[in-house]
Amino acid sequence: MNKQTIQQFIKHPGVKALKPSICVGLGFAAVMAMVSVFIPNRYQSVTRILPVDVKGAAGFGGISAAAAAVGLSVPGQDGGDQNYVDILNSRWIKETLLREKFDFEIKNWKFGKPKKYHQSLQEYLHAKNLDRGVEEISLIMSATKDQKSKILILSVETKSPELSRDVAKSAMNLLDDFLRKKIQTRGGIKAAFATARLDEARMEMARSEDAFRRFMESNRNFQASGDPSIRLSGARFERELKLREQLVVTLAINREQALLEEKNDLPMLNFLDVPNLPLDHHGPYRLMYVLVALFSSSCLTWVWLNRLWIKRLSDN
Q: Are residues 237 and 295 in the same domain?
A: no
User: Which string of b and e fits 60-95 if b means at least 16 CB within 10 Å?
Assistant: bebbbebbeeeebebeeeebbbbbbbbbbbbeebbb
Q: Which residues contact 57 (CB under 8 A, 6 or more apart)?
A: 261
Helix (H) or strand (E) holding 166: helix 161-181
Q: Are residues 130 and 243 in the same domain?
A: no
- Which tens digit of pLDDT belongs to each residue from 79-114? 555 678 888 999 999 999 999 999 999 887 666 688
Q: Are residues 48 and 180 in the same domain?
A: yes
Q: Please indicate, yes or no, if residue 172 is contained in any of the structural domains.
A: yes
Residue 60's alpha-carbon distances to 66, 80, 189, in angstroms, are 10, 6, 13
Share of the chain above pLDDT 70, in %: 79
CA nearest to 137, candidates 121, 120, 153: 121
Q: What is the mean pLDDT of residues 224-247?
A: 85
- Which tens digit of pLDDT belongs to each residue from 218-234? 887 777 777 788 888 88
CATH number for the domain including 50?
Answer: 3.30.1890
Share of the chain above pLDDT 90, in %: 26
Q: Are residues 27 and 64 in the same domain?
A: no
Q: Please indicate, yes or no, if residue 314 is contained in any of the structural domains.
A: no
Q: Are residues 260 and 292 in the same domain?
A: no
pLDDT bucket at 185, cuts 50 / 70 / 90: low
Q: Which residues contact 82 (CB under 8 A, 6 or more apart)?
A: 74, 145
What was the pLDDT predicted at 200? 92
Rounded to 10°, the helix 80-88/61-69 angle is: 20
86 in Cβ contact with 99 (< 8 Å) = no
- C-beta atoms surrounding 294 within 10 Å: 20
What was the pLDDT predicted at 97? 94
Indicate whether 69 pLDDT > 50: no
State which residues form the domain around 300.
Answer: 13-39+284-306
The residue ranking higher by pLDDT, 278 or 226, is 278
Residue type, 159: K
What's the pTM value of the predicted model, to 2 decimals? 0.60
What was the pLDDT predicted at 55? 45
Indicate whether 59 pLDDT > 50: no
What was the pLDDT predicted at 274? 82
Indicate whether 2 pLDDT > 80: no
What was the pLDDT predicted at 101? 94
Helix (H) or strand (E) holding 279: none
The residue ranking higher by pLDDT, 20 or 53, is 20
User: Which string of b and e fits 200-215 if b means at least 16 CB within 10 Å?
Assistant: ebeeebeebeeebeeb
What was the pLDDT predicted at 219? 80
The residue ranking higher by pLDDT, 202 or 271, is 202
Phi, psi of 72 (to 5 degrees): -100, 145
pLDDT bucket at 166, cuts 50 / 70 / 90: very high
Q: Please indicate, yes or no, if residue 311 is contained in any of the structural domains.
A: no
Indicate whether 156 pLDDT > 90: yes
Mean pLDDT estimate for the chain: 79
Cα separation, 66 vs 64, in Å, equals 5
Burial class (CB in 10 A: 0-12, 13-18, 19+), 58: buried
The residue ranking higher by pLDDT, 182 or 166, is 166
What was the pLDDT predicted at 70? 44
CA nearest to 272, candidates 161, 147, 151: 151
Q: Are residues 132 and 204 in the same domain?
A: no
Phi, psi of 144 (to 5 degrees): -135, 170
Q: Please indicate, yes or no, if residue 316 is contained in any of the structural domains.
A: no
Q: Are residues 51 and 122 in the same domain?
A: yes
Q: Please indicate, yes or no, if residue 1 is contained in any of the structural domains.
A: no
Q: Are residues 89 and 202 in the same domain?
A: no
Q: Are residues 58 and 171 in the same domain?
A: yes
The residue ranking higher by pLDDT, 162 or 50, is 162
Q: Please indicate, yes or no, if residue 4 is contained in any of the structural domains.
A: no
What was the pLDDT predicted at 81? 56
Indicate whether 73 pLDDT > 70: no
Q: What is the mean pLDDT of residues 204-224?
A: 84
Count up the domains in the chain and report the number: 3
Q: Please indicate, yes or no, if residue 224 is contained in any of the structural domains.
A: yes
Q: Are residues 172 and 221 in the same domain?
A: no
Q: Are residues 216 and 248 in the same domain?
A: yes
Q: Are residues 151 and 224 in the same domain?
A: no
DSSP helix/strand/coil, 258: helix
Q: Please indicate, yes or no, if residue 5 is contained in any of the structural domains.
A: no
